[in-house]
Amino acid sequence: MTGTDWAAWQQSWDRQQEWYMPDREERFRVMLDMVEALVGPKPRVLDLACGTGSITDRLLKRFPEATSTGVDLDPALLAIAEGHFAGDERVAFVTADLKDPAWTADLPHDSYDAVLTATALHWLHAEPLAALYGQLAGLVRDGGVFMNADHMIDETTPRINAGERALRHARMDREKAAGVLDWADWWALAAKDPVLAGPTARRFEIYGEHADGDMPSPRWHADTLRAAGFGGAPAGWSEHPAPQRRSRLHRRR
């Protein structure tokens, strides 16, 4: 792996994700604002479904005394994350399937001040997601916080949802015509890279072309988290005036 520019790969992943979510950095900022407000500037964080470590990267740049455990199953994205953070004692990575009831066994800590995730849990169906929330309730310390900056569409506002979608796709079409990489383009590049080709092939053996979750409503998430033992479950931030929720904040009692 010597000579691989891991930072460039992580940045390339970030740019590809931003094509779908131009507000991605704002999502991260909102989560870190709440981390600072609720648990302070030296948090122990679980970066759930961490991918290339985008959240961990922002976390450590803002809070140099923070520590992070990144958890993911994707061998290609974990290879980038591990390469990018190699030698940083503040960061550890764990390969785990969040659908496995025993996935927490390999974590280096029994509890965390904050669990952060973004645009990943919509890949899970409702039953394993509810089970995961129950496990997170045991990992987040009392007074800690879980935040999920994900897509949570409110189906009660179809007209606003349709308008938002049309505007978003018009922007994406313009940027695609200008040469922006999409999901398929990015993975095609990874598959051709001498270092990432093997992990990428294994990644597609695990997930297929793309996982397909249930994408339940914001209310479902709030109700399920409260039932799991979390206290407040407000919508922390919305990109649009309608309840097209992007981030939810859930605090332990």
Identify the structural domains of the chain with CATH numbers, from first to last: 6-251 (3.40.50.150)
Instruction: Check whether 226 has a pLDDT greater than 50.
Output: yes
Instruction: Check whether 72 has a pLDDT greater than 70.
Output: yes
Q: Assign 153 a pLDDT band (cuts: 50, 70, 90).
A: confident
- Stated pTM of the model: 0.91
157 versus 190: the higher-pLDDT residue is 190
∠ CA 11-76-28, rounded to 5°: 40
Q: Both tokens of residue 161? A: 């949802």
- The Cα 103–Cα 38 span in angstroms is 26
Chain centroid to Cα 118, Å, comes to 3
Q: Assign 231 a pLDDT band (cuts: 50, 70, 90).
A: confident
119's CB contacts (< 8 A; 6+ apart) are: 17, 21, 24, 149, 150, 151
- The Cα 250–Cα 236 span in angstroms is 9
- Buried b / exposed e over 9-41, threshold 16 CB at 10 Å, is bbebbeebbebebebbeebbebbbebbeebbee
Separate counts of helices (H) and strands (E) for the chain = 9, 7
Phi and psi dihedrals of 224, rounded to 5? -70, -40
- The Cα 185–Cα 192 span in angstroms is 11
- The Cα 44–Cα 103 span in angstroms is 18
Q: Tell me the average pLDDT of the chain.
A: 91
Tell me the CB-side half-sphere exposure of residue 239, using CA atoms within 13 A. Answer: 23
- The Cα 247–Cα 232 span in angstroms is 14
Across the range 126-140, mean pLDDT stands at 96
Across the range 10-32, mean pLDDT stands at 96
Q: Assign 155 a pLDDT band (cuts: 50, 70, 90).
A: confident
Q: Assign 242 a pLDDT band (cuts: 50, 70, 90).
A: very low
Q: Both tokens of residue 180? A: 């922006």
Which DSSP symbol is given to 186?
H
Looking only at the bridges linking them, the beta strands covering 235-238 and 245-251 are antiparallel
Length of the chain: 253
Structure confidence at residue 22 (pLDDT): 92
- Which tens digit of pLDDT belongs to each residue from 42-59? 999 999 999 999 999 999
